[in-house]
Structure 1
Amino acid sequence: MAAVPVAGPAVIDARVVETITRHLESLRGTVEGGELYGLISRVLRKHRRLGNITGECLSELHGQLEAYANDPVTLPGMRIRARLLQQHISPYLPDFDDPSPSPAYASERLPEPPGGFEDAPIIEEVTLGLPAATPPAAEAPNEAPLEGVIERPSEQSEQSTAERTEKYQALLRSEKDAWQAIYGTVKDYHKLKQAWMKSLDELARQRDALEDKLLKTSEHLSVLEAERDKLRTDLEKTRTEAAKRPRLLPTPRASRANGRTGALPRREAFVREVETEIKRIKRSGSSLALGLIAIEGLERVAEEHGAEASEAVLRCYAVEILSNFRAYDRVALYDRDLYAVMFPDTRKDGAQRALEKAHKRATETHVAHEGRSFPLPPFVGVLVLYAAGEDVAAFVARADDALARARESGQTGIVPA
């Protein structure tokens, strides 16, 4: 194998220079190979300034490549490229031990040459820095050996050539295996990419299907909202018409028990119930409210529509108005046109609301009598609360006095006691 003599203590084979040049050409201008390209360029530029490429340059380059390949953050493909270049230059290293990686690279990557990789014409410098190989001299014709001169044996040269050839073949096989590994990695990457693209297509189809369903659902919801608004409008209209329409209550065909009162207890029985309730609340400490209701204008109804019309008014109050109180509230016919309501275990505000509801219902009610309809006469009402220590007579008398004052005032509705 022909060797190219260079200035310096070592002789470099031209083949290793071609290998380094080929690697630099393949790394030039690539994003992933920029760092490795800069590393090789810096080493070559350094020794180019000192002279030509020597064995010391190859030793330093070998150490830098070793540190680069051992760096965990280096890309796997670039590690393989560094190892390949190491194997190419290993046979041409000097006999002394390989120097360890320079501290500058071990601790921190050297800065890139200014102006980018393209601005540093490393390949041209390497190529031009080597002296041109001297063409082999023409073989001299075989001359007969001189007598008495012993020829120098060439066994060592032949053995060195065989070893170099064997190492070169091993390098070729190693490079082939490395490229096959890279190709396998790229092939696996393409398979993964195809699977990923297929998954993306499937996700896109599912997204389109969901968008269609969402659009249909939105349209259906819009229809339902329109129907809901229409139903709400119809309901409000019906309620408004019902509120404006008078309530007609037909007169019962057959008189109920106790005639006009609708079978309500009278005053005496009611007072006894109040007395019993007072005894109970003295033990329990509960509250007790008593309300009195007086129908106004009952005589005028009798004058205008007859006596039976007034009886119809009393039945209407007993059946339609006073029957809407709670089941445990006690209602009684207190006098001819008076009613009494006892609210056990009820505070004043609760009893007040109950009487106001009854008054509102009475003002909205009409009575039908003998083919004619007239509004139900309103009432005036009072409400008193039981005071501790008060007997039943005083309690009832206080309610009677409050009702008398309310009727004298000429007011209707619930008058504060």
Structure 2
Amino acid sequence: MTSDHAAPSPAVTVVGIGADGWAGLTDAARATLRGAEVVIGGPRQLALLPVECPGERIAWPSPLRPAVPGLLAAYTGRAVAVLASGDPMFYGIGRALTEVLGPGAVHVTPHPSSVSYACARLGWPLEDVEVVTVVGRPVARVAAVLHDGRRLLVLSADAETPGEVAALLRDRGFGPSRIRVLERLGASEERTTEPVRADDWPPERPPGDPLNIVAVECGRAPGTPHIGAVPGLPDDAYEHDGQLTKRHVRAATLGALAPAPGELLWDVGGGSGSIAVEWLRTHPACRALTVERDPERAARIARNAERLGVPGLRVVTGAAPAALAGLPRPDAVFVGGGLTAPGLLAACWDALPAGGRLVANTVTLESEALLADAYRRHGGELVRLAVAHAVPVGAFTGWRQAMPVTQWAVRKSADPFETPAATAGADR
């Protein structure tokens, strides 16, 4: 079907530019920049433009993201171009612009990203490489993707990042990992360092160029605990005071919670934070917050999250249900403690949207009675999890039974008239 009306012109054209500057742009990209009345970008990108681009040059303020709507509004009606490093839609300004203006108002002209250049220089298949950005984010995020034999590319914040990555690798038991630093990719002065083990990274090594990417070939040191990619990490991966959902029960709990990319978890009664930590580790887009009334445990949760590569875990210090007020609406809730607090279970249930999941664990008869009543009213699935470990019994071996855990798992119905019988045993 055709229309008599032409599609509106984009409000902003975003041009990706590499370290090779003006020489690396296509003719179409150059024409866009020559014709722009206003060019917005970082100081480094703006400095790459020749004098033949007469438009007014505006540097992004800091912090950048909150300033985007107002800055664009100030130049409404003028031909605006935005300069971005490499591919603007790969950890770039393109995302913020399309979220503010809508994709129809933004035209993007990409340039090869630093990741594409790095893989080309290293001979690494792009699809087999894990990419982590630490631009404006903690270097601790790298810890979540450390697996023996894997290849990582770390998008650096500045010249200090390579040394920080090396220190993290040593601290997490990956000192044998080989590091290379690729600087100013695509420019005539491009440089790739010789590989060096993280253990051998000299503390006095002078910083290189701030425009760099760090390539890591992961190697785990002998004796370093194996931390897998699925829920059920070893209990000794966590710092705790005994308040820890144990490994086998934790794996079953995460299976019932069923994390999906982009979803938000409330971990109520966080203890050591293990459920929230492993929810976040399932996918980089997962989000979580944990509510813990004890300040010492709350601090311990934050340390566990940082250690295991998910420093974005939000820790709320306070007693539930009062501490739940004003929190963003969750997609799933786990209640690992405090079930007998008046109104807690009801508050968690009311916070869930239709289709949201709730999982609650307990080892006490009092809390078990609450879960049995909730199961009767809302349906779902009520199970008892029992784990026994083989232990020495004199010269022989026997079983030591851990305290059984009662678990209630339920999906909130979208149908207000759905009965508990209809939801019992339903897929979550």
Which TM-score bucket, shorter chain as reference? under 0.3
Tell me the TM-score normalised to structure 2 length. Answer: 0.15
Question: Larger Cα Rg: Structure 1 or Structure 2?
Answer: 1
Task: Flag the structure with higher strand content.
Answer: 2
Task: Flag the structure with higher helix content.
Answer: 1
Tell me the TM-score normalised to structure 1 length. Answer: 0.15
